[in-house]
C-alpha cells in the first residue's frame, strides 16, 4: 500500500520537526442509496481509530530534523556493498549531523514493514525498497 503525504506548510521557513508516522485504522461503509444522506449519517460512513505514532530516527536512535539541509554527511565506507550503510546523506549542518527528512510518502507492506519516501534521500529509499520487496 502506498500513501502520499503532501508537504503542507504555512510558514516561509522550515521547522525542526521530527518526522513521524501516525497509524490510523480506517473503516469505510459505502452509502449506496440515492436518497439524500444527513450530515450525521454521512459521518458514520467513515470511522477512524488512532493506533499509535512512530517517531522516525536514525539507526542509532538519533532524532531526525525537518530543517532544510545545509550540509551533506559523507558516505559510510563500502556503502555500495552493504545496504545498511549510508550513502552521502543530507544533515542539518556540519556541526549538527541529524539526518534531514521531508517525509512525503509511505510504502507499507501487509506484514508491518514500511519505507518512507523523502525528497532528500531518493537513492537511500531506492536501496531500502530493494531490501523491502
> pLDDT tens digits for 81-102?
887 888 888 899 999 999 988 7
SS (H, E, C) 71-102: EEECCCCCCCCCCCCCCCEEECCCCCCCEECC
Closest-CA residue to 124 (of 54, 53, 59, 55) = 59
| Nearest-angstrom CA–CA distance, 115 and 105 | 9
Contact predicate 56/103, CB 8 Å:
yes
Contact predicate 102/120, CB 8 Å:
yes
Question: What's the rounded mean pLDDT across residues 31-36?
Answer: 92
Phi, then psi, of 126 in degrees rounded to 5: -60, -45
pLDDT tens for 54-64 read 888 887 889 99
- All 3 cell numbers of residue 11? 510558514
Amino acid at each position: 500500500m502506498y500513501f502520499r503525504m503532501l508537504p503542507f506548510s504555512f510558514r516561509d521557513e522550515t521547522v525542526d520537526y521530527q518526522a513521524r508516522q501516525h497509524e490510523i485504522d480506517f473503516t469505510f461503509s459505502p452509502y449506496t442509496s440515492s436518497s439524500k444522506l444527513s450530515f450525521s449519517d454521512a459521518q458514520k460512513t467513515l470511522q477512524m481509530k488512532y493506533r499509535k505514532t512512530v517517531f522516525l530516527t536514525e539507526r542509532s536512535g538519533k532524532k531526525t530534523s525537518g530543517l532544510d539541509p545545509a550540509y551533506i554527511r559523507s558516505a559510510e565506507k563500502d556503502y555500495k556493498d552493504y545496504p545498511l550503510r549510508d550513502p552521502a546523506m543530507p544533515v542539518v549542518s556540519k556541526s549538527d549531523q541529524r539526518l534531514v527528512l521531508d517525509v512525503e510518502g509511505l510504502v507499507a507492506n501487509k506484514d508491518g514493514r514500511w519505507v518512507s519516501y523523502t525528497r532528500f534521500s531518493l537513492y537511500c529509499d531506492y536501496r531500502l525498497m530493494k531490501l523491502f520487496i
